[in-house]
Chains A and B, each alone.
Chain A
Amino acid sequence: MISLINVTRYHGPPSDPRFVLNDVSLRVEPMDRIGILAPSGSGKSTLARIISGHERPDAGHVIQRGHLSWPMGFSAALHPALKVADNIATVATLRNMDPYELVTKVEDFAQIGASFFRPLSELAPGERSQVALALSLSVVFDIYLADDMNVSANPAFREKCDAALMDRLASAGLIMMSRHPRMLKAFATRFFVLAHAGLIECETAAQAEDILNLLIHEDVPPHAIA
């Protein structure tokens, strides 16, 4: 379970704040699939960092129970000088998993052939993103967190990721933030719009898309939406 209670985060001085999140509340139950539609620069990454406890809000509280994933497709923790296989083995050891099992699983999933045994720095960006996604989907969590999940250019791999995520969601929750309604429609069952530092709950993905259009393109103020 994850609970955000009146969370506020702003930049600049308190006398002249630029709000990223303003009095945002959200409760995520264990099997909830939350889809947050948010344009670029709306505070997706800040919200993801606050949810995962890596950033403290200026006001409000965050309660987190259970194992929350790192943002899916996050690759910054993998060391560029280490071979991909060694990176994965390190992650497995740190998380008290069987390194051989995780390496085999990620190798099968990522499908990057011999590149799997080369230093990460020698991989093409697409291969790197495939490794990061394969790693995220090979570890079991209670809730998966996706912050504008890096989608591979390879359609076959994309389908494989979608299927694997769906499989995981049979026994886990999801918080997905994206600017692509397609992603949210495919995985989420509860929808929100993140814009103007606020989170607005919607009934469907289509409604979320409409509200986002009103807020951003028609410049309708958030209080008018309610």
Chain B
Amino acid sequence: MREPQHTSLIIGLMNWLTMIRALMERDIATRFSGGSLGHAWAVIIPVSWILAITLFFRWLGRDAPIPVSLPVFLATGMLPYLVFRQIITSMMRALKSNRHLVTLGPAQPEDIFTATAALELINAAMTAAVVLCAAALWTGLPGIHDPLTAVWGFALACGFGIALGRFAAILALISDSAMRLTPIVLRPFFWLSGIFFVAAEVPQWALAWLWYNPLFHAIEIMRSGFFLNYQSLFATSFVPIIAIATIYMASRIIQAYVSLQPGRGVLPA
């Protein structure tokens, strides 16, 4: 007797989720192997970065450009930036390091991308929780003004990282140069995404250029949701959403083109 269609769909979904979980567990076990702190490094590294930048600004005697505490201001910029960069790095690494796994089946490149992105989102949520708790303990966080907007800004930064990471991972399979060039191309995001400044203090001519930076919009939206006394008149969700959709589609087109080339297959060798 055949199973009803909805039952087989549910079973298929459960099997797929089990496979994604297995890929995530494998990633955790292999990426953080060899150290006693294990998976905790996924949180320790970004938290250390944020702490180091905050101490550096304190040492310089700089204040936040808006009337909020410096550690929290920097954390709301550094956190989406570091998560964005980490997602890109992980997605590029995942496809290369798991390419032989595809031979064993049935995991496909899309499953590897999904598992990597899901794990990075979990890491991002854990890092955000640790950073915000630490900032609250340090400076007495007054509470998040509009949590939904803040989470939306953070999600846009993650989404931009996933789309760009997927794009870079596919390019890296075609050319080693793409793999090496990606960190260089991404370097300006550190300086041009509003980690250390807000749109209100940027000259108009510079804002006209920065408008094309989706990460700047995401960080401005996150801060608008985070701080009661800051509303970005510059940021719009439109730019990150269009960037995510465009880059994702471009990566699919390149992937389809590459897999049709002689010598390539399910996953380019």
Query: Nearest Cβ in chain A — how far from B37, in angstroms?
Result: 15
Number of interface residues of A (CB under 8 A): 24
Partner of B26, one of A56, A57, A90: A90
Q: Provide the bound-state CA to CA distance between A82 and B31, in Å.
A: 10
The stretch of B97-105, B167-175, B226-234 in contact with A is B97-105
Interface residues on B, range: 20 to 34
Determine if B263 and A77 form an interchain contact, defined as CB atoms under 8 angstroms apart.
no
Contact with B along A154-194 (1 / 0, CB 8 A): 00000000000000000000000000000000000000000
Q: Which residues of B sit under 8 angstroms from A96, Cβ to Cβ?
A: 15, 18-19
Query: Nearest Cβ in chain A — how far from B3, in angstroms?
Result: 15
Determine if A56 and B262 form an interchain contact, defined as CB atoms under 8 angstroms apart.
yes
A53-B265, A54-B267, A56-B263 known; A77 vs B101 contact (CB < 8 Å): yes
Q: Which residues of A sit under 8 angstroms from B104, Cβ to Cβ?
A: 70, 74, 77, 91, 94-95
Asked if A61 lies at the interface with its beta carbon under 8 angstroms from chain B, I say: no
Query: Nearest Cβ in chain A — how far from B25, in angstroms?
Result: 7
Q: Which residues of A sit under 8 angstroms from B34, Cβ to Cβ?
A: 81
Query: Nearest Cβ in chain A — how far from B15, in angstroms?
Result: 5
Q: Provide the bound-state CA to CA distance between A71 and B104, in Å.
A: 9
Q: Which residues of A sit under 8 angstroms from B260, Cβ to Cβ?
A: 56
**Number of A-B pairs, beta carbon distance below 8 Å:** 74
Q: Which residues of A sit under 8 angstroms from B256, Cβ to Cβ?
A: none
Of residues 67 to 89 in A, which have CB atoms within 8 Å of B's CB atoms?
A: 70-71, 74, 76-77, 79, 81-82, 86
Q: Provide the bound-state CA to CA distance between A82 and B101, in Å.
A: 14
Contact with B along A53-67 (1 / 0, CB 8 A): 111111000000000
Asked if A196 lies at the interface with its beta carbon under 8 angstroms from chain B, I say: no
A56-B264, A94-B19, A96-B19 known; A79 vs B103 contact (CB < 8 Å): no
Asked if A49 lies at the interface with its beta carbon under 8 angstroms from chain B, I say: yes
Q: Which residues of B sit under 8 angstroms from A49, Cβ to Cβ?
A: 265, 269
A55-B264, A56-B261, A94-B106 known; A76 vs B100 contact (CB < 8 Å): yes
Q: Provide the bound-state CA to CA distance between A76 and B18, in Å.
A: 23
Asked if B30 lies at the interface with its beta carbon under 8 angstroms from chain A, I say: yes
Chain A binding surface SS class: loop
Contact with B along A14-39 (1 / 0, CB 8 A): 00000000000000000000000000
Asked if B72 lies at the interface with its beta carbon under 8 angstroms from chain A, I say: no
Asked if B23 lies at the interface with its beta carbon under 8 angstroms from chain A, I say: yes
Determine if A82 and B106 form an interchain contact, defined as CB atoms under 8 angstroms apart.
no
Partner of A79, one of B26, B261, B266, B267: B26
Determine if B101 and A93 form an interchain contact, defined as CB atoms under 8 angstroms apart.
no
Asked if A128 lies at the interface with its beta carbon under 8 angstroms from chain B, I say: no
Q: Provide the bound-state CA to CA distance between A52 and B106, in Å.
A: 12
Beta-carbon nearest neighbor of A67 in chain B: B105
Asked if A44 lies at the interface with its beta carbon under 8 angstroms from chain B, I say: no
Q: Which residues of A sit under 8 angstroms from B262, Cβ to Cβ?
A: 9, 56-58
Asked if B149 lies at the interface with its beta carbon under 8 angstroms from chain A, I say: no
Determine if B105 and A56 form an interchain contact, defined as CB atoms under 8 angstroms apart.
no
Determine if A95 and B103 form an interchain contact, defined as CB atoms under 8 angstroms apart.
no
Q: Which residues of B sit under 8 angstroms from A57, Cβ to Cβ?
A: 262
Determine if B107 and A56 form an interchain contact, defined as CB atoms under 8 angstroms apart.
no
Asked if B114 lies at the interface with its beta carbon under 8 angstroms from chain A, I say: no
Q: Provide the bound-state CA to CA distance between A194 and B63, in Å.
A: 73
Asked if B69 lies at the interface with its beta carbon under 8 angstroms from chain A, I say: no
The 3 A-B pairs at the shortest CB distance, nearest first, are namely A93-B22, A77-B100, A58-B262
Residues of A within 8 A of B (CB): 9, 49, 52-58, 70-71, 74, 76-77, 79, 81-82, 86, 90-91, 93-96
Give 16 CB contacts A-B under 8 Å: A9-B263, A49-B269, A53-B265, A54-B267, A54-B269, A55-B263, A55-B264, A55-B269, A56-B261, A56-B265, A70-B105, A76-B103, A77-B101, A79-B26, A86-B29, A94-B23
